[in-house]
Amino acid sequence: MLGSEILLAEALSTLRLPAGDDHLEESLRLERCKLALVKHKVEQHIPPEIAEARAVTLKALKEAEQGWQRAIDKIGERAGLTKGPEGTWRHPSMCEAA
């Protein structure tokens, strides 16, 4: 086992589920720890070229999402819309301040 795997395994072994309202929160915490351990083990077996392709793909996806948001913002601005507090575009007549 690697050092990080040992730490995760130790963390999992020390978690105990209390009775009462904290049960769900602790249960979710335990599941997140288990998921992190499994994810770590899976990532160790991914070939380097696949890991690199994954990183490049995630970066491209993030850039595309940012590009879409910029395009949506430009369309909203050019259409004379205003951005609401929740971040959606609306016609000025639909705003509370109008």
- Asked if the structure places residue 12 within a domain, the reply is yes
- Asked if the structure places residue 41 within a domain, the reply is yes
- Asked if the structure places residue 65 within a domain, the reply is yes
Q: List, for residues 16-64, the tens digit of each pLDDT value.
A: 555 555 677 778 888 888 888 888 888 888 898 998 999 999 999 999 9
Give me the domain span that covers residue 50: 3-70
Tokens of 19: 């009775």
More confident: 55 or 94: 55
82 and 95 Cβ atoms separated by less than 8 Å: yes
- Asked if the structure places residue 24 within a domain, the reply is yes
Residue 80 pLDDT greater than 90, yes or no: no
Domain count across the chain: 1
Nearest alpha-carbon partner for 81 in 97, 68, 96, 94: 94
- Asked if the structure places residue 83 within a domain, the reply is no
Burial degree of 58 (CB within 10 A; 0-12, 13-18, 19+):
exposed
CA distance 54 to 78: 36
Write down the pLDDT at residue 98.
42
pLDDT interval class at 13 (50, 70, 90): low
- Asked if the structure places residue 82 within a domain, the reply is no
pTM: 0.49
- Asked if the structure places residue 98 within a domain, the reply is no
